[in-house]
Amino acid sequence: MLSDNLIRIRAAYRHGLRIILTLFVLLTGAPLHAADQLTRGPYLQMGTPTSMIVRWRTDPLTKGLVRYGTALNAITNQAAHNGVLADHVVLLPKLKPATRYFYRVGSATNKWFNAPDPTYSFVTPPAAGPPRSVRFWALGDPGTGNTNQMAVREGFRNWSAEHPADLWLMLGDNAYATGTDKEYGKAVFEMYASEHRRMPLWPTLGNHDAFSANSATQSGVYYDVFTLPTLGQAGGLPSGTEAYYSFDYAHIHFICLDSHDTDRSPAGAMATWLKADLASTARDWIICFFHHPPYSKGTHDSDKRADSGGRLVEMRENILPILEQGGVDLVLCGHSHDYERTFLLDGHYGSSTNLVPLMIRNHGDGRPDGDGAYEKPPGTGPHGGAVYLVTGSAGQTSGGKLNHPAMYLSLNKLGSVGVDIDAHELRVTFVGTQGQVRDYFTMRKR
């Protein structure tokens, strides 16, 4: 049994602790018990016709919950993950295709981080079937976190205000200078908060992202913050890695390649998978995106084998023949901080001095109100021609000679790209910081 003296000592000790804690709160304003705080997101990943992944971050660790439904006043379905986490990844299953869902994210403590609000909603991709109108947004090298990046963002928001994009692509160098978690927080998640919560992002790895990420081990910031398909969950063939993957959206097949940190040899795992994936798709249009451009005379020179460790040359020599044999229509890249757009090309796998007229399938501007749209046969037959875009000026411009002979147009201007695809027509628009159209062209299949 405790003595009276010991009881008095313990009581005095507890009283002293309460005094110290009270003084700490008064002096610092810190709560004695930290409430759940939303520190990132929410953001959407890996959308399919029947599912969507919602991610967000909290402090402290907690069990994450999502409530969702097809009416703003009836968000009654619920999904959660196991355990307590800081980075929450919740799969919303058994959704209906082409349907708008409203959602709230919160924690097991019944703390909700957003009220029911139309801006916290998404539309699931349509199921395979009749073609429909699709718009997507492509940003190359956006991650400066500065006023240039903001201006490009606002320019696209203004241009697309009447017709928002359905999905978006980041073409690498998403967060400068070394792809740290803090840099991603500012340049990716804070910069595009409203885009993240309404449409899924599909990224690729750039050389600056790779300072803090490793494709071989699937580790580092890039692989931690994104959830990407490895098993063909969103269409296409399983790649077994988040470094490169494919997905379907309506009548379009998208292919993401890793031009920086994965073997680019013609017999490597990525090239082998690419051949099989292209052969397996039955979609009407094929879009491919990766970081290092096969053609550029901007910040980087695609003729120089020493440039970027030979990655531009290897993608052109080893990967383009596979893409063109597989019927690719449009290839989107960044890396050079400018805008460069080729003619309709096929079979140009050497340096710029090796370009011959037969490799340019159409020498016009691709504009219906100019020389006419680029025409291709229907379907995805081999070697029908493709347009290659460098759109790496979503965060900065760096100039260069901008004189590659395969290019119809080269601009040292800030901007990003909007792509509209209907049943038989693809339209590309390069959008400036004021929402102005700096370039455009059309491709038709008929």
DSSP 112: B
pLDDT attached to residue 34: 52
pLDDT attached to residue 109: 80
DSSP 432: -
The pair of three-digit structure tokens given for residue 432, joined into one six-digit string: 């400036």
Domains (range + CATH), the chain: 37-123 (2.60.40.10), 134-445 (3.60.21.10)
Bridge partners (DSSP) of residue 387 are 330
Q: How far is 77 from 403, CA to CA, in rounded Å? A: 56
Tell which residue, 252, 251, 332, has the closest CA to residue 288.
Answer: 332
DSSP 60: E
- The gap from C-alpha 236 to its chain's centroid, in whole angstroms, comes to 17
Element (H, E) at 92: strand 85-92
Q: How far is 292 from 318, CA to CA, in rounded Å? A: 13
pLDDT attached to residue 17: 40
Tell which residue, 163, 139, 152, has the closest CA to residue 435.
Answer: 152
pLDDT attached to residue 415: 98
Tell which residue, 146, 134, 138, has the closest CA to residue 195.
Answer: 138
8 A C-beta contact, residue 257 and residue 273: no
Bridge partners (DSSP) of residue 416 are 431
Q: How many CA atoms lie within 13 A of 347 on its CB side?
A: 10
The pair of three-digit structure tokens given for residue 150, joined into one six-digit string: 């903001």
SS percent in the chain: helix, strand, coil, step 5:
20, 30, 45
Q: How far is 121 from 44, CA to CA, in rounded Å? A: 10
Q: What are the distances in angstroms from CA 220 to CA 18, 176, 209, 215, 243?
A: 42, 15, 9, 9, 12
Phi, psi of 363 (to 5 degrees): -90, 10
Phi, psi of 157 (to 5 degrees): -60, -40
pTM of the model: 0.92
Q: How many CA atoms lie within 13 A of 310 on its CB side?
A: 8
Q: How far is 420 from 250, CA to CA, in rounded Å? A: 12
Tell which residue, 330, 296, 323, has the closest CA to residue 405.
Answer: 296
- pLDDT tens for the chain, residues 1 to 446: 334 443 344 444 444 444 443 333 334 343 334 578 999 999 999 999 999 999 999 999 999 999 999 999 999 999 999 999 999 999 999 999 999 999 999 998 878 999 999 999 999 999 988 899 999 999 999 999 999 999 999 999 999 999 999 999 999 999 999 999 999 999 999 999 999 999 999 999 999 999 999 999 999 999 999 999 999 999 999 999 999 999 999 999 999 999 999 999 999 999 999 999 999 999 999 999 999 999 999 999 999 999 999 999 999 999 999 999 999 999 999 999 999 999 999 999 999 999 999 999 999 999 999 999 999 999 999 999 999 999 999 999 998 999 999 999 999 999 999 999 999 999 999 999 999 999 999 999 98
Alpha helices in 262-317 (DSSP H): 269-280, 311-314
Q: What is the DSSP string of 124-154?
A: PPPPSSS---EEEEEESS-TT-SHHHHHHHH
- The separation between the first and the last C-alpha atoms of the chain, rounded to the nearest angstrom, is 94
Q: How far is 146 from 176, CA to CA, in rounded Å? A: 10
